[in-house]
Amino acid sequence: MSMTQVFNDIKIAIIDDDKNLAEVTAWEVEEAGYQTFVLDNRHRHFHNVSDLVSLIRENAQGAVCDHRLSNSGFANFYGAELVANLYDFKFPSLLITQYTEMDTAFSIRKWRHKIPVLLSREEADASSIAKGIQDCTLELSGKIPSTRKPRRTIVRITNIDEESGERVVDAFVPGWNPHKAVRFPASLIPENIGIILKPDIRLFAHVNTGAEKSDDLYFEKFELAPEPDEDDGLA
């Protein structure tokens, strides 16, 4: 049996609030050898992410989801949250965004630990989608690539700001790149640490420091780190 024949038995849900973009994505998914189940702004509005998760799981075996789903009133949550919820069901799902630079630091980063594959709109062709579904399936089966494996590392806070009405944090992760700041939502940090958060404070966090790009970084399990020691190499 050929790989194409195997793919032909698999249906991929296409979730996008833009009908035209949903059709473009569907063409690429079909070119990759899959069947499609398209959900776009012609469908009902989804208030609850679990309702959409149930509909997808009932009708498909994988998903390709746009990040911004609210522009046309399709849903009142982000695609990143949808993909993260599907991840909990070990359901292979890819996330696509047209707004990579604007979204990855905040609304995507919040869920990034449960988003194995993030594609920019221009990257989302048949080849990258097929590879993405495969990579996602492997991670869900426990075969996590080095670029996605978390390790406990120092995170040094440099700035606290506000974005879209929520607090965001700018920080350096020396174990990843000591010269490039990364932004993430302050909501990822436990409340007992968040209330004392300030520039130059150091935290421990689990971060996938093998990531090639800042867009791929995720942050989990924050702890307060001890004051820097000049002899520990981390000051």
What residues contact 68, with CB distance under 8 A and at least 6 apart?
Answer: 17, 78, 79, 97, 98, 99, 103
| Cβ–Cβ under 8 Å, residues 200 and 156 | yes
- pTM over cut 0.95: no
Cα 180 to Cα 155: distance, rounded to the nearest angstrom: 12
Cα 82 to Cα 59: distance, rounded to the nearest angstrom: 16
Return the CATH fold of 3-140.
Rossmann fold (3.40.50)
Q: Where are the domains of the chain?
A: 3-140, 147-224
Hey, what are 27's tokens? Answer: 């063409």
How big is the chain, counted in residues? 235
Cα 54 to Cα 43: distance, rounded to the nearest angstrom: 15
Q: Report which residue type is found at 106.
A: F
Cα 132 to Cα 106: distance, rounded to the nearest angstrom: 22
* Tens-binned pLDDT, residue by residue, of the chain (235 aa): 344 444 568 999 999 999 999 999 999 999 999 999 999 877 678 999 999 999 999 999 999 999 999 877 889 999 999 999 999 999 999 999 988 777 888 899 999 999 999 999 999 999 999 999 999 999 999 999 999 999 999 999 999 998 878 899 999 999 999 999 999 999 999 999 999 999 999 999 999 999 999 999 999 999 999 876 665 555 5
Return the CATH fold of 147-224.
OB fold (Dihydrolipoamide Acetyltransferase, E2P) (2.40.50)
Other C-beta atoms within 10 Å of 138: how many?
A: 14
How big is the CA angle at 86 (ends 83 and 87), to the nearest 5 degrees?
Answer: 85
